[in-house]
Amino acid sequence: MNVPASTPAGAARPLPGPPSLPASLRARRTGVIPGLKYRPVAPADPAKAEEVDRRLEAWARELDLFPPAWKGDFAGFQFGRAVVLQHPRALDLDRLTVAGELLLAENLVDSCYCEVEEGRGGSRRDLGARLLMAQSAIDPHHGTARSQEQWRLGMRADGPLRSYHWAMKDYAEFATPSQTGRFVHDIARLHMGYLAEAAWAETGYRPEVWEYLVMRQFNNFRPCLSIVDAVDGYELPEAVHARPEIQRITALACNATTLVNDLYSFTKELADDPAHLNLPQVVAANEGRGLKAAYLESIEIHNRIMESFEEEAALLSATSPLVERYAQGLSDWVAGNHEWHATNTHRYHLPDYW
């Protein structure tokens, strides 16, 4: 896999002020983070992305997922372009659209339940209860006839619940029960990650780097990579998927691509909420270093995880065409997600560290 030449850290321009202050950061750069290990991909086919967006919009409107006033924010996310980039070998537009539905649902739950600063109802205090109800939207209740009927009605209570519930129904149309079970587990992981992050925010705990990385393995893009085989029209059988070495390359790919998010959204998070946890902040706090050095070290941490993924995925791919196909799907998602981050100038700008 191709790694673009980086500007050496030594060539970085000096910062004009104390590096821990958002105002000191001139967030002007866009494009690729210098020194970041990634695989470049072709731009998304705009017609395909537009068609997925058109279908997603109809789906969201039909289910009344969010107020019209939020449309601009969600358009800025570019769901269609995201899934077209992340699933370049998708079997068809229907599956790509369901990938988009799941992505939209995940963002809606995050935005409305978890992100206190966004002002859409997010709250830390009852997050555990709300995320459990959200989990149950994809992991159905089995009780008495009455409690099941009330649960079914309850799952229509708000946009986040409706989006999880109906996106999952659409996913189960083509995914096997093992693939849907895998996804449900990965959403449980995600919710646990949200809850850990919320607990740290609540208590003001400053995690060590390894603790942050453990949390980030849960608060992670993993549910998006969980569906790569189903979207491409095949199944990596659960007995293979569950093997420790396959679990490991899955986690490595998911962790690498999640840290890419930390790096691309660093400047935005610093501006929105200077206390927002991300890898550079945690490295800076733990190692008593300025944000610039911590940012550059965070790139290195990402690169080492990415290298482990690439090396181990290559070894395993040599053992089985099916594993090779799966590892390619993971790599495609990671590469497409990088491209999305590097080009989504609506959301992201880079610090001026080089």
135 within 8 A of 187, measured Cβ to Cβ: yes
Residue 192 to residue 181: CA distance in whole angstroms: 17
The single residue among 29, 48, 141, 206 that binds a second copy, judged by CB under 8 A, is 141
Tokens matching residue 319: 């053992």
Taking the complex as a whole, the smallest distance from the CB of residue 123 to a second copy amounts, in Å, to 9
Q: How many residues bind a second copy (CB under 8 A)?
A: 67
Chain residues 304-323 in contact with a second copy, contact rule CB under 8 A: 304-305, 308
Residue reference for tokens 């590096």 = 19
Chain residues 1-60 in contact with a second copy, contact rule CB under 8 A: none
User: Which is nearer to a second copy, 30 or 147 (by Cβ)?
Assistant: 147
The single residue among 13, 28, 89, 243 that binds a second copy, judged by CB under 8 A, is 243
The single residue among 202, 272, 287, 311 that binds a second copy, judged by CB under 8 A, is 202
User: Which is nearer to a second copy, 196 or 224 (by Cβ)?
Assistant: 196
In DSSP notation, 95-125 reads HHHHHHHHHHHHHHHIIIII-GGGTSS--ST
Tokens matching residue 92: 């068809």
Residue 105 to residue 63: CA distance in whole angstroms: 12
Residue 38 to residue 306: CA distance in whole angstroms: 8
User: Which is nearer to a second copy, 96 or 249 (by Cβ)?
Assistant: 249
* Three-class secondary structure of residue 30 per DSSP: coil
Task: List the one residue out of 267, 251, 167 whose CA is nearest residue 216.
Answer: 251
* Of 18-26, 42-50, 125-133, 325-333: span binding a second copy (CB under 8 A): 125-133
Q: Work out whether 144 is an interface residue with a second copy (CB under 8 A).
A: yes
Task: List the one residue out of 76, 60, 271 whose CA is nearest residue 170.
Answer: 60
Taking the complex as a whole, the smallest distance from the CB of residue 140 to a second copy amounts, in Å, to 8
Q: Work out whether 195 is an interface residue with a second copy (CB under 8 A).
A: yes
Tokens matching residue 175: 């995914």
Taking the complex as a whole, the smallest distance from the CB of residue 151 to a second copy amounts, in Å, to 5
Q: Phi then psi for 29, rounded to 5 degrees?
A: -75, 145
Q: Work out whether 299 is an interface residue with a second copy (CB under 8 A).
A: no
Crossing angle, helix 209-218 and helix 279-287, to 10 degrees?
160
The single residue among 111, 163, 220, 255 that binds a second copy, judged by CB under 8 A, is 255
Q: Which residues contact a second copy (rule: CB under 8 A)?
A: 125-133, 135-136, 139, 141-147, 150-151, 154, 176-178, 180-181, 184-185, 188-189, 191-193, 195-200, 202-203, 205, 208-211, 213-215, 217-218, 237-239, 242-244, 247-248, 251-252, 255, 301, 304-305, 308
